[in-house]
Amino acid sequence: MTEILMYNINGKKAITLKNICRALNISYREIDKADYGYKLGNLLGINDDNNVKAGESFDDEMLYLVGFNDGLLNIFLKLSRSKKCVVALKAVMTETNMNYTSFELYNEISAEHKAMQSGKSIH
């Protein structure tokens, strides 16, 4: 299963990303703010942990990439850049982050992104 969970992506950028996904045969879902408290593995149907952390949200654009091999990931990123459809906050699913909530993932990759922009490391 190759899938992208999309967060806070609207308008022309959402249409462009969806068209790229269709062209590459990648499933996609827009995640509602009401679901940000569920673990990512739960949103993907990988586990059945229905515990929810309520009240946590964010407004930045973010993509969670699931089931991508290196080749498909490179093609997706290249197409996104060529269409001027860049999303700064992206993460590929791992054994660790699939146990995060969307908000926890956002906090982690947002901190990493800020650190990279300033030339520092968070770890």
CA 21 to chain centre: 13
15 touches 74 (CB < 8 A)? no
Task: Spell out the domain ranges in the chain.
Answer: 3-117
Distance from C-alpha of 92 to C-alpha of 38, rounded to nearest angstrom: 17
3-class DSSP state for residue 98? helix
Per-residue confidence in pLDDT tens, the chain, 123 aa:
899 999 999 999 999 999 999 999 999 999 999 999 999 999 998 887 777 777 678 999 999 999 999 999 999 999 999 999 999 999 999 999 999 999 999 999 998 888 888 777 665
Q: Give this prediction's pTM.
A: 0.91
* DSSP letters spanning 28-65: EEEPPGGGTTSBHHHHTTS-------TT----S-EEEE
